[in-house]
Structure formats: C-alpha cells, structure tokens
C-alpha cells in the first residue's frame, strides 16, 4: 500500500518531468537553502554569491535532466552530486589561478629586483664617471682607462709611454680623491673595477 507521501512525491516528479513550473519551484525551495549551505562549506567562502551561483547552475541542470529522475531521492542525490562537482571544479580553477598569480608575482618581484639593481648600478657608474671627470688631468686619463676601458697598469703605461709605477702612483692619488667624492656604492664600484 502506497503512503500519501509516496503518492505526492510521484505526482510532484510527474509534474516536474512535464515541465510544471510549480513543481520545479517546490523542489527548488525545498533543497536550495541546504545546497547553498553545503556549497558554501565546500568552498570555504565567506561570500555566499559563489555558492548561490553554483546552486543556481545545479538547478538549471536539474531542469534539463528532469525526465531521467525517478524518485525524490534521485533528485536529491543528483542535486548534491552536481553541486559537489561544481564546487570541486571551482576550487581547482581557483588553485590554478592562485598558482599563476603567485608565479607572476614571483617573476614580477624578480624582475623588479633586477631592474632596481640595474638602476643602482647605472647610478653608481654615472656618479663614478662624473667624479673621474673632476680629477686632475693625469689622474683622469689613467682612471678612465682603468674604469671605462678595463685596462691594467702595464697596458696603460705602454699606451701613455710612462712607467707602471707612475700609473700606480696616479691611480692611488685618484682613488684617494675619489674616496672623498663618492658615495659608498660609487666607491665600491670603483674598487671592483680597478
């Protein structure tokens, strides 16, 4: 013997399969709040909008598959499974998006660090070049060859037809003068270059 509930359930599902809006609304209002709660818990989200959107899509899928569901238990299982799968898809997409964002930020930070290093280096080179221009002539000529051309003392001495000791004396004098004029970065650069 069928109970009143089984008869009502059967009629409700029959009306749902026929596209009855009232039957669909009845099922919607019966399950929607619980599904939103369920989706929101899976998403670990403070904002209900994502959960509500997923549940809305779930009910749209139910409407398109309404002919295939035989019992209210099938409807309920369908709703929970579709909601769960949609939440898991959303979580996976968010994780991919988060990884892309983190990778971008890491590469952006590395690029920013490289650019900042290049700015500092360029400014140090500019500072050193300007300071070298203010040196007395013999010191300036020798320091330009050390700093800008990368020559050693022997090459400079041969090119200027002077002794290596004269080159080294002028270099020492230039370093002493530059130490007074340059910032720490500029002086460190000149020491590295010569």
Task: Give the distance, in angstroms, between the CA of residue 177 and the centroid of all CA atoms in the same chain.
Answer: 47
Q: Helix 72-133 to helix 4-17 angle, to the nearest 10 degrees? A: 60
pLDDT for the residue 1: 40
Rg of the chain, C-alpha, whole Å: 39
How far is residue 194's CA from residue 192's CA, in Å, rounded to a whole number?
6
pLDDT for the residue 171: 87
Its pTM stands at 0.55
Tally Cβ neighbours within 10 Å of residue 135.
19
Q: Which helix (H) or strand (E) holds 193?
A: helix 184-193
CATH fold of 134-193, please? Arc Repressor Mutant, subunit A (1.10.10)
State which residues of the chain have pLDDT below 50: 1-2, 5
- Phi/psi region, residue 161 (left: phi>0; alpha: psi -120 to 50; beta: rest), is left
Its CATH architecture, for the domain 4-100, is Orthogonal Bundle (1.10)
The per-residue pLDDT of the chain, averaged, comes to 85
**What are the domain boundaries of the chain?**
4-100, 134-193
DSSP 1: -
Tell me the pLDDT tens digit for each residue of 59-82.
999 999 888 888 888 999 999 999
Spell 137-166 as b/e; 16+ CB within 10 A means b: ebbbbbbbbbbeeebebeebbeeeeeeeee
Task: Give the distance, in angstroms, between the CA of residue 161 and the centroid of all CA atoms in the same chain.
Answer: 58
Burial level of 101, CB count in 10 A (0-12/13-18/19+)? exposed
Tell me the pLDDT tens digit for each residue of 152-167.
889 989 989 999 899 8
């Amino acid at each position: 013997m069928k109970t009143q509930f089984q008869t009502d359930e059967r009629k409700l599902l029959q009306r749902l399969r026929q596209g009855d809006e009232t039957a669909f609304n009845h099922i919607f209002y019966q399950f929607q709040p619980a599904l939103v709660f369920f989706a929101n818990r899976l998403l670990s989200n403070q904002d209900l909008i994502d959960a509500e959107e997923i549940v809305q899509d779930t009910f749209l899928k139910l409407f398109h598959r309404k002919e295939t569901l035989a019992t209210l238990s099938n409807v309920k299982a369908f709703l929970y499974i579709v909601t769960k799968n949609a939440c898991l898809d959303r979580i996976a997409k968010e994780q991919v998006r988060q990884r892309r964002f983190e990778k971008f930020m890491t590469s952006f930070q590395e690029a920013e660090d490289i650019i900042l290093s290049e700015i500092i280096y360029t400014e140090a080179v500019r500072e050193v070049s300007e300071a070298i221009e203010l040196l007395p002539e013999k010191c300036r000529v020798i320091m330009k060859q050390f700093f800008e051309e990368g020559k050693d003392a022997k090459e400079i001495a041969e090119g200027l037809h002077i002794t290596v000791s004269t080159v080294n004396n002028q270099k020492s004098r230039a370093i002493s003068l530059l130490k007074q004029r340059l910032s720490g970065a500029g002086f460190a650069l000149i020491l590295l270059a010569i």
